[in-house]
Structure 1
Amino acid sequence: MDPSSREQPWVEPDAIDPVAPPLRSPTLAHQWWRDVSFLHWRVDASRVADLLPPGVRPDVIDGSTWVGLIPFRMSAAGPGGRWSVPWAGDFLEYNVRLYSVDERGRRGIVFLSLDAQRLLVVAGVNAALRIPYRWARMSCAHPAPGLDPSGERLVYTSVRRAPGRARTHLEVEVGEPIGRPSELDHFLTARFGAHTHAWGRTWWVPVTHAPWPLRRARARVVDDELVAAAGLPGLSGSAPDSVLFSSGVHVLFGRPERV
């Protein structure tokens, strides 16, 4: 949607804040995001604008927006804020995402694709919110819990089962902790909601979590087809412009709101 075509002006987003606002609605679900690698490429906003749902536009920092390829482990997911679902609540997920802002100034994420191990999760989330989950065969070699991951190399692999056969193979070397994350580091990670289009409307799904414990990282190998399959060919064939790593955070989800 072109903001210039609206009778009411868009609200400009507030300054980036790494501290999440509290949920205004009951907690619908919770989960841990662990062993998260953030690989990002800088792009012109015009390249991704048509990939966003109605009512949102690309979020921009220093004149550019960003495309993310984010592999991680989902853990202890379940309804409400306490209960976890055995087996189905623990799986690998790799997503391709864009950065969005809506007319009320709420910053968020738009998922172009999400590949996950659990067919039950893929079917359920697609049916409920039309979020583009795909079933995939996946693996991740990760640091032992409780150990300093500096110098560790995480190896993420995924082959989409259907539709298509898009795959990715990533090797990320974990570096030192970041004492004072930059504004860009926060822009790429402190996103407390997602925009999605379902049932003929665009929705805002709020989330809250503690600030990410971030580390510098290096992409040793990026052999990826997921970004191209999501509608951005040629991008992940170049080295990422930013690579970060986090051991993870606990995330709470609120009730979806109309945009």
Structure 2
Amino acid sequence: MLKIAWVARQTWKDLLFIHWPVSLEKIRQYVPEAFEIDTFEGQAWLSIVPFYGTNVQLSGIPAPLPFTHFAELNVRTYVTYKGEPGVYFLSLDANHCLAVVAARSLLHMPYRRARMTKTSNGEWIHFLSRRVEKGYRPDSFYGRYRPYGDSFQASSDSLTYWLTERYCLWTMRGNKVYKGPISHEPWNLRRAEAEIEMHGLVNDMHWRGTNITPIFYYSPFKAVHYLPFVEQ
């Protein structure tokens, strides 16, 4: 049960976690100095998360919103602020203009408008994104993915838990730090296989040309509540 009134809620569907280790020095370049880079056993990580958002509702507004359904693509890393762990977003793309404007205003997050499609043939899920907002690079992403194996919840001492069970979003507005708590049940995950192509999203932190194999996890459904962002 939530102890603080939520400001927005949403359901995430067909979500894919794409995780891979990155150089601490490289990721430091993209994260404000106010935040410490969080590491697991000394290793920094980057992740990309495509999903389809549905059932968006703002607190106190019972009427259906004009952006109830839209696709989203997040690029994030892991940070702490005054010892509290969370995620920091390098970029967020969504395919609905009103959703982008609302998220910027309510969540203080750097959303950008993109053209996106998500389709499924009953086995593979196909997700395509290309940023189209004026003044920003036309970064693109294509992935096809499918889950396999049994559903599980990660143990609290595992890398999987560290990567996925995050309940705080950290961001900055000017020189001020904001904390955005989120609330949801623990992840029920399945392993996934995926084929990924992208251009521009992660700059020089791509795993292509290395011996790194990304870690993929899939979740079919997650109901999420966003709590008020608070200046720290």
TM-score, shorter chain, exceeding 0.5? yes
C-alpha deviation, 1:236, in angstroms:
4.5
C-alpha deviation, 1:94, in angstroms:
0.5
Give the residue type in structure 2 aligned to 1:174: P
Superposition TM-score, scaled by structure 1 size = 0.79
Map of 2:59 onto structure 1 = 80
CA contact (8 A) 1:227 1:236 kept: no
Superposition TM-score, scaled by structure 2 size = 0.88
C-alpha deviation, 1:82, in angstroms:
8.6
Taking structure 1 as reference, are residues 127 and 253 closer, same or farther at Cα in structure 2, changes over 3 Å only?
A: closer
C-alpha distance in 2 between matches for 1:83 and 1:70:
29
Taking structure 1 as reference, are residues 205 and 153 closer, same or farther at Cα in structure 2, changes over 3 Å only?
A: same
Map of 2:71 onto structure 1 = 92
| RMSD over aligned Cα atoms | 2.2
Equivalent residue in structure 2 for 1:169, among 117, 130, 142: 142
Equivalent residue in structure 2 for 1:217, among 192, 197, 218: 192
In structure 2, stretches of 5+ residues that fail to align are none
C-alpha deviation, 1:77, in angstroms:
0.9
Equivalent residue in structure 2 for 1:159, among 130, 135, 140: 130
Please give the residue correspondences for 1:50-129 in structure 2 after superposition, counting only pairs within 5 Å.
50-80=29-59, 83=62, 85-103=64-82, 105-129=83-107
C-alpha deviation, 1:126, in angstroms:
2.5
In structure 1, stretches of 5+ residues that fail to align are 1-21, 145-151
**Alpha-carbon deviations, 1:202-226, whole Å to 9, x = none?**
111001100111000112x211125
Seq. identity, %: 26
Q: Segments of 4+ in structure 1 off by > 3 A?
A: 81-87, 127-130
**Alpha-carbon deviations, 1:169-214, whole Å to 9, x = none?**
1111211124352511111111101000014301110011001110
- Secondary structure of the residue that 1:48 maps to in structure 2? helix
Q: 1 or 2, which has the higher strand percentage?
A: 2
C-alpha distance in 2 between matches for 1:129 and 1:56:
18
Aligned length: 226
Taking structure 1 as reference, are residues 128 and 164 closer, same or farther at Cα in structure 2, changes over 3 Å only?
A: same
C-alpha distance in 1 between matches for 2:166 and 2:121:
25
Please give the residue correspondences for 1:1-259 in structure 2 after superposition, counting only pairs within 5 Å.
23-80=2-59, 83=62, 85-103=64-82, 105-142=83-120, 152-162=123-133, 163-182=136-155, 183-219=158-194, 221-228=195-202, 232-237=203-208, 240-259=213-232
Taking structure 1 as reference, are residues 127 and 26 closer, same or farther at Cα in structure 2, changes over 3 Å only?
A: closer
- Secondary structure of the residue that 1:51 maps to in structure 2? coil
Taking structure 1 as reference, are residues 242 and 92 closer, same or farther at Cα in structure 2, changes over 3 Å only?
A: same
